Amino acid sequence: MINEHEHFMRAALREAERAAEMGEVPVGCVIVHDGRIIGKGYNQRESLQDPTAHAEVIAITAAAAYLGSWRLEDTRLYVTLEPCPMCAGAIILARVAEVYFGATDPKAGVCGTLMNLLEDERFNHQPALYPGLLEAECGAMLTGFFQAIRAKNRQDRLN
């Protein structure tokens, strides 16, 4: 039996698949309120040519529009990759209650890897943090994506 948290992380993985289909880094995010998804997003930096078009920012915007409020106090955010500084800041400012993430990000993750912005008591809000949800699946999607890019680049150099 799949638990509720896995169910929502699988929804985030489906969003990540949408990003991969577009050639974007496969990161997906959903935001849940009262047991239902009210916001979802996937990386769209390349297609929108927007450095802020991360999955979390897109999902936060959608959830705020759904609720008619920027305060996402009673929500849970599920994202396939550990949030970066920009996304962690947006999560704090939106007052998301809980954050679940899959794979850690050794280059930009600030929810425990490089630092932990979400649990920094100097901010006026600290969401509860739950790392490692479906970590292997989330990580495998990212690893496969980058391996395919490297293989294509090698093949292009040979041609």
Can 56 be counted among the known catalytic residues? yes
| Alpha-helix runs per DSSP H in 22-134 | 45-48, 55-67, 85-94
Do 111 and 85 meet the contact criterion of CB atoms below 8 Å apart? no
3-state helix, strand, coil in the chain (%, to 5): 45, 20, 35
CA atoms of 40 and 31, how far apart (whole Å)? 6
From 15, 21, 24, 56, active-site residue: 56
Active site residues per annotation? 56
